Amino acid sequence: MIAGNSQSYFQGDLAFTCSMIGKNYAIPMYASCYWLVAGPSCNVSDLCEQTGKVYVALTQAPGYGIVAKVLHWLIFALLAVQYAIGSIMPHIGRHTQDEGWVSWHFSVGAAILFFILIRLIWRLFHPVPQLPTLAPLERVSSGLVHWALYLLVLAMTLLGWAATNSRGWNVKLFGIITLPSVAPKGSHWGHECGDIHNVLVYVLLAFIVLHVAGAAYHYFVKHDEMAARMVPGLGRAEGYLK
């Protein structure tokens, strides 16, 4: 397909072995890209090298910066701690006291609210493009899951805050800063916020599992850069480009 003085264009699936440089390439059709090989000096080695450069450009996109990564894993750790506390703390009933694991539950929840707000603001001002190799359905599903996680965490913490205040208890950020009351003591709607909060615990957990499963799928099945963009030190799994 390298023709004299003419220019050759390649579109769609491209899968071949460049024995001269020992690289295997398989470029998916949905990347919808063109490969240009120009002039009579082109040879197999040139084709391999140029295609490899284009492949890397196509399958990589700017990753998440250090701030986004720190916030991501900090929130993940806090959520893991919160779920652990929630599983061992006593049920909050009429005679429950704001002490022990119950008090820790409120403090960790306030910290999660604090950092998820920072994460959302950072995301809005520092957007990261999706991988160019994602199929249209993957782009939509990835965006939906990400924003669902943000909104669920935000909603759960706000609902928990209101439910806590409705019992006449204060919410303290880092155990030091007392946050203003968002629901009056004994309010019916504040109590309802607690009930909704308890249901969303399982909804959020389902989305977290879906998020982790999606990352595993991209790493172990698709072998792309999706997981590596957020996990420090994680390279590409064996796949398209070796």
Domain locations in the chain as residue ranges: 8-59, 66-229
CA 104, 110, 111, 114: dihedral to nearest 10 degrees? 180
Question: Tokens in use for 211?
Answer: 């998020």
Q: What is the model's pLDDT at position 9?
A: 32
pLDDT score recorded for residue 31: 34
Higher pLDDT, 63 or 35: 63
Specify the CATH number for 66-229; select among 3.40.630, 1.20.950, 1.10.730, 3.10.20: 1.20.950
Burial of 195 (0-12, 13-18, 19+ CB in 10 A): exposed
Distance CA 164, CA 190 (A): 8
| Cα 113 to Cα 55, 107, 208, distances in angstroms | 40, 10, 17
- Given a contact cutoff of 8 angstroms between Cβ atoms, the answer to whether 115 and 78 are in contact is yes
* CB of 26 closer than 8 Å to CB of 15: yes
Could you give the angle at the alpha carbon of 168 between the alpha carbons of 162 and 173, nearest 5°? 60
Both tokens of 56, joined, read: 């890397």
CB 218 within 8 A of CB 226: yes
pTM score above 0.85: no
At 207-227, the pLDDT tens digits run 999 998 888 877 777 777 777
Residue range 147-177, pLDDT digits in tens: 999 999 999 999 999 999 998 889 999 888 8
User: What span, in angstroms and rounded, lies between the C-alpha atoms of 81 and 109?
Assistant: 10
The residues pairing with 14 across neighbouring beta strands, listed in sequence order, are: 27
- Whether residue 125 has pLDDT greater than 50: yes
Is 108 in a helix, a strand, or coil?
A: helix
Per-residue pLDDT band for 61 (boundaries 50, 70, 90) equals very low
| Residues whose CB falls within 8 Å of the CB of residue 91, separated by 6 or more in sequence, listed in order | none
SS3 85: helix
Q: Do 145 and 211 touch, CB atoms closer than 8 A?
A: yes
User: Which residue did the predictor score with more confidence, 32 or 78?
Assistant: 78
Residues composing the chain: 242
3-31 average pLDDT score? 37
pLDDT value at residue 229: 74
The pLDDT value given to residue 222? 72
* pLDDT at residue number 127: 81
Q: How far apart are the first and last CA of the chain?
A: 24
Q: Could you read off the pLDDT of 67-78 as tens digits, one per residue?
A: 988 999 999 999
